[in-house]
Chain A
Amino acid sequence: MSSTVEQLSAQQPGGGEPPQPPAGQGLVPATWRRLKRITLSYASFWVIVFMIALSLLSWLGVPLSPYAYDQTTSATLSAPSAAHPMGTDELGRDLLARVIYGSRLSMMIGLTTALIALFFGTIYGAIAGYCGGRVDAILMRGVDVAYALPDLLVMILVGVLVGRGTGGILTALGLISWMGTARLVRAQFLQLKHEEFVEAARSCGQGPLALIFKHLLPNSIGPILVALTFIVPAAIISESTLSFIGLGLSPPACSWGTLASEGWRSLRTHPHLILFPSLFIFLTVLSFNFLGDGLRDALDPRTRLATRR
């Protein structure tokens, strides 16, 4: 008897306070719980955490400098060994140090592009979706035109125009990635703005900005988050491809793309030089894609109903 009382009081610490909602019912904890059940996506989440940690680590300092070189013949272009787990390049630089160092630029470009696309795409889509009518029609034709231009064409032309440094790449990648978010936010807004809770807020006298930021956007956050996880890998692939064909970043800048590009030249004799950077790109992009798939399933209202029933 007394043990039951103890259990009850243990469940509600500070008995006087109003009862808290049971843990794991909010959007974030519930989604997290469902995501955990999708093994591949959950594992991918931790791979991404690892990659981000790796790129942060490079700011603290890599044990071996990515630029330190050793040009004695035995040290250049060596195969993977205990001293150099991924081997060395043609200048005798340690490839592992360079791959860790390269993760900094690659991850930064991927994540920043996603934020840029998110920012401008959301504003554009929010205006189109909130205003509707003719404004919407005109804005969406703009999206169609942006979609019609081949990505690489835009990237090459912008790269030449803005310059081929990190800024140019980010501009170019931002320009080709915002349209998806814009379409998505617009569709969400068009659908949500006639919902009763929005009508109710409007009839309470809330202005457009309050409606957008307090009601429409928070209710669209799920799909936007999913879109975000798909923009990052696309940006990482685009950057590395562009750098690979020699139109993106170029040495001494060091990203996974430039490393693959350097490795490409010695594919015939030393395939490990292109293999390791490419594998890191592949693993990161794959993880983001799996995480996106899992997140979409975890957030999908239909599967949500199904689990509730």
Chain B
Amino acid sequence: MAWLVLRRALWAIPVLWVVATVTFILVRVVPGGPFDAEKNLPPGIVANIKAKYHLDRPVAEQYLLYLGRLSRGDLGVSYKYANRTVNDILSDAFPVSVQLGAMALAIAVLAGVPLGTVAAVRRGRLLDFACMTLSTVGISVPSFLVGALLIYLLGIWLKALPVALWESPRHMILPALTLSFLPCAYVARLTRASVLEVMQKDWVRTARSKGLSPAVTIVKHVLRNSLVPVVTILGPLTAVLITGSFTVEYIFAVPGMGRFFITAVINRDYDLIMATSLIFALILIVSNTLVDIAYTFLDPKIRLEH
């Protein structure tokens, strides 16, 4: 286990380097610089600002300077949020995004797994049809429509919940619900397929014929064995959550990473863009590693040493 984590950690370094390089090139190729939007600054002052941030150097030198800073854990400074380092901004925004993503993931799994299981057990019946139609609806509805409907019904009409900002647990309910919609539909579909497959195994019939009740068979024998594919997509789902959080954070004015990324791109806030991409890549790597570790608990047959 420790060996696995260590190996993955070592692998993460070249992957992050590739992401950093690709993003660096993309960002510098894009026309426009961070100080283009400033109104009527005298050329001398612009030159001074650029010199301060080393933006007057050749791109290759800027790249090496950046990698040097990065290796020391310094993510640079924001050009737009004056006097704030990127590390400082991210230490505010990152926990918010993680909290939002974790809540959405929890809702998705807690609702999706039972929905999928029920659909599989009642295969071909009305309940199955209802669950699967619901999940197709779930993957078809744009998140801004979910957000707008929730805001209108619960926030404006019933006045039950706050519709924006991120101040108390009550503020987190609507964004988390909105974000959980799509992953929940995925989890439900996958659980159904997986449970259907496992239910046809011989040992399930054995469990039933030795007198276990259907409920116990499903929960203790079928479900545990059906969860491997579900756990597998938690990795890609993290990517879906990251992407989804852009929109949800925009809708609900949540001060998380997605919002900073969008404004950073618009403002050409180079260091902030770089740092955000790197963190997204890091989250993907970490979540895939966690998924691999979770396999060993669910299915001892899967050995990770190889």
Residue ranges of A at the interface with B (Cβ–Cβ < 8 Å):
40, 145, 148, 150-153, 156-157, 160-161, 233, 237, 240-241, 244-245, 247, 260, 264, 267-268, 271, 274-275, 278-279, 281-282, 285-286, 289-290, 293
Contacts and interface: CB of A to CB of B under 8 A. Distances in A.
Given A150-B280, A152-B246, A245-B246, A278 B142 contact: yes
Contacts of B141: 282, 285-286
B180 interface: no
Contact of B142 (A40, A150, A271, A282): A282
A150 B143 CA distance: 17
Given A245-B250, A260-B144, A281-B145, 7 more contacts: A145-B18, A157-B27, A157-B30, A241-B144, A267-B156, A274-B145, A286-B137
A241 to B, nearest CB: 6
A265 B30 CA distance: 30
Given A161-B30, A267-B151, A233 B140 contact: yes
Interface in B84-129: none
B101 to A, nearest CB: 13
Contacts, number: 89
A159 to B, nearest CB: 9
B284 interface: yes
B142 A267 contact: no
B144 A264 contact: yes
B26 interface: yes
A179 B29 CA distance: 24
Interface residues of B, number: 35
A286 B26 contact: no
A237 to B, nearest CB: 5
Nearest to A281: B142
A156 B140 contact: no
Interface in B129-188: 133, 136-137, 139-145, 148, 151-152, 156
B140 A286 contact: yes
B243 A282 contact: no
Contacts of A151: 243
A271 B152 contact: yes
Contacts of A281: 142, 145
Nearest to B249: A245
Contacts of B26: 157, 161
Interface in B248-285: 250-251, 261-262, 265-266, 277, 280-281, 284
B136 A290 contact: yes
B227 interface: no
